[in-house]
């Protein structure tokens, strides 16, 4: 009888695992807030909680879910150089939380108290890391938790991130896998739901991506894997589908319309049109090309790039950004300081009809590009009709005039709804409008 019960227990467990495996970790593009654009390396627990509180009250009811502590949470003195940054690390070479900035992490609690607070609000807690293993851990040849290996066996000392050399990259060996297993287990114990791994997509670090994905899979907790920064090579699309839930398609995207000639940083909004169009065929449930954060509203007091400021994007450009991200089903991750949000920026984040395009559409693609005018289409998951976005990428006003056949719809009259205005425009036999420079429209057409 005991053997029968054991067999039944095994069958039930296997069935449960299959059900879990059949549910994607990120069934829709993640929507959340990240500390980098407004706080850089320096966010404190009080600042994080203040933003989370606003997020919980105003955005969570619309489906926004993730709140993420970005880079530098293990630094006592961010902004210094080298060892003066005050790295906090355990005896097994794993970064720990700087409790002078996150007091709830005192006494070795790590991020668990903060994650518990986030979870108590019904939200998901995320964390940024840089790939690899701390230099200090390698120099001291510290042991790797849960294994017989030591840090020097895992580290590739010839490999450092081009813009942050605090870590060494990892070799493709069992010691490196053990190190990633050890930090994944640590983060799972803290209650982390989302990991953004930086300096891993460009150049494409396939071995480390595979090892990190495997480590998260063994951690005992469902954790979304986000890869950064881009541009991630598009010829790795198949590999990405196997190992990650989202990946950056560009370098960091800040509050600029153009981009520096011959450079990838900052990405510049206008460049995102070609990149999102290229990646659109690879949009897939559970796997999302990521056009980067939303640098709108107030970016400060200590932004990750430049001086504290209100976004330099115009109102038209800001709406164009949100329209493109939604039509391309990019993750929507806010960079604004939510404690200083203005009504116009709040309106960009809280339009349920625009959010529905990002979260519940299919067949998303750039239909045409004619000079400075780009046209995107998508199909709603339910309710019929189609989504239509038209963008003026030029520096002068542009009149656009399309027959319905030009945008893939049958000829005749169609009911048109302006999603940004949340207003029905009536039936029309064609589409005619004038767009200001860098402006856009977003319609549902039935």
Digit-coded pLDDT (tens) for 431-445: 999 999 999 999 999
Q: What is the mean pLDDT of the chain?
A: 95
Residue 133 lies in a domain: yes
Residue 139 lies in a domain: yes
| Mean pLDDT within 125-151 | 98
Residue 13 pLDDT exceeds 80:
no
Phi, psi (5° rounding) for residue 300? Answer: 170, 170
Percent of the chain with pLDDT over 70: 95
Cβ neighbours of 429 (radius 10 Å)? 11
| Mean pLDDT within 208-234 | 98
User: Coil, strand or helix: which one is 206?
Assistant: helix
Q: What is the 3-state secondary structure (H, E, C) of 93-106?
A: CCECCCCCCCHHHH
| Mean pLDDT within 242-268 | 94
| Mean pLDDT within 130-148 | 98
Judge if 110 and 56 occupy the same domain.
Answer: yes
Q: What is the pLDDT of residue 9?
A: 42
393 token code pair: 């990428």
Residue 7 lies in a domain: no
Q: What is the pLDDT of residue 89?
A: 98
Judge if 42 and 119 occupy the same domain.
Answer: yes
Residue 362 pLDDT exceeds 50:
yes
Residue 295 pLDDT exceeds 60:
yes
Q: What is the pLDDT of residue 262?
A: 87
Residue 2 pLDDT exceeds 80:
no
Q: What is the pLDDT of residue 22?
A: 63
> Per-residue confidence at 406, pLDDT binned at 50, 70, 90?
very high
Percent of the chain with pLDDT over 90: 93
CATH of the domain at 51: 3.20.20.70
Range of the domain at 216: 25-359
Please state the domain count of the chain.
2
Long-range contacts of 84-90 (CB under 8 A, 24+ apart): 85/166, 87/134, 87/136, 87/166, 89/134, 89/136, 89/137
Q: What is the pLDDT of residue 70?
A: 98
Judge if 39 and 116 occupy the same domain.
Answer: yes
Tell me which of 359, 376, 411 is where a domain ends: 359
| Mean pLDDT within 90-103 | 98
Tell me which of 312, 337, 359 is where a domain ends: 359
Alpha carbon of residue 93 to chain centroid: 27
Query: The pTM is what?
Result: 0.94
Tell me which of 330, 359, 388 is where a domain ends: 359
CATH of the domain at 426: 2.60.40.1180
Residue 383 lies in a domain: yes
Residue 391 pLDDT exceeds 80:
yes
| Mean pLDDT within 413-430 | 97
Judge if 340 and 309 occupy the same domain.
Answer: yes
Residue 233 lies in a domain: yes
For 141-169, the pLDDT digits (tens) are 999 999 999 999 999 999 999 999 999 99
């Amino acid at each position: 009888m005991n053997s029968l019960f054991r067999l039944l227990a095994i069958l039930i467990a296997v069935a449960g695992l299959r059900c879990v495996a059949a549910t994607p970790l990120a069934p829709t593009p993640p929507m959340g807030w990240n500390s980098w654009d407004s706080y850089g390396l320096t966010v404190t627990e009080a600042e994080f909680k203040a933003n989370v509180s606003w997020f919980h009250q105003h955005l969570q009811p619309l489906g926004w879910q993730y709140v993420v502590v970005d880079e530098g949470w293990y630094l006592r003195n961010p902004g210094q150089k080298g060892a003066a940054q005050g790295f906090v690390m355990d005896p097994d070479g794993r970064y720990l939380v700087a409790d002078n900035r996150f007091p709830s992490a005192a006494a070795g609690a790590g991020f668990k108290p903060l994650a518990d607070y986030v979870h108590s609000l019904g939200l998901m807690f995320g964390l940024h890391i840089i790939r690899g293993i701390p230099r200090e851990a390698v120099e001291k040849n510290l042991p790797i938790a849960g294994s017989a290996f030591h840090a020097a066996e895992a580290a590739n000392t010839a490999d450092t991130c081009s813009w942050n050399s605090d870590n060494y990259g990892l070799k493709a060996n069992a010691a490196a896998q053990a190190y990633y297993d050890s930090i994944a287990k640590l983060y799972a114990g803290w209650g982390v739901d989302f990991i953004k791994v930086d300096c891993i997509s460009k150049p494409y670090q396939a071995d480390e991506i595979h090892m990190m994905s495997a480590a998260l899979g063994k951690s005992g907790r469902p954790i979304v894997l986000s890869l950064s920064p881009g541009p991630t090579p598009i010829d790795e699309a198949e590999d990405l589908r196997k190992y990650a839930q989202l990946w950056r398609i560009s370098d960091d995207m800040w509050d600029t319309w153009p981009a520096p000639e011959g450079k990838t940083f900052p990405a510049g909004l206008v460049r995102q049109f070609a990149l999102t169009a290229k990646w659109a065929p690879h949009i897939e449930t559970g796997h999302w090309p990521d056009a980067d954060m939303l640098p709108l509203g107030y970016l400060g007091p200590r932004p990750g790039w430049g001086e504290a400021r209100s976004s330099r994007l115009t109102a038209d450009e800001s709406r164009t950004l949100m329209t493109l991200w939604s039509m391309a089903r990019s993750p929507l991750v806010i960079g604004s300081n939510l404690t200083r949000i203005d009504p116009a920026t709040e309106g960009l984040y809280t339009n349920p009809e625009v959010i529905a395009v990002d979260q519940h559409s299919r067949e998303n693609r750039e239909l045409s590009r004619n000079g400075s005018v780009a046209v995107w289409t998508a199909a709603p998951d339910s309710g019929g009709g189609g989504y239509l976005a038209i963008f003026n990428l030029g520096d002068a006003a542009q009149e656009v005039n399309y027959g319905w056949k030009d945008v893939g719809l049958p000829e005749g009259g169609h009911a048109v709804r302006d999603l940004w205005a949340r207003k029905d425009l009536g039936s029309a036999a064609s589409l005619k409008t004038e767009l200001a420079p860098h402006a856009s429209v977003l319609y549902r057409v039935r």
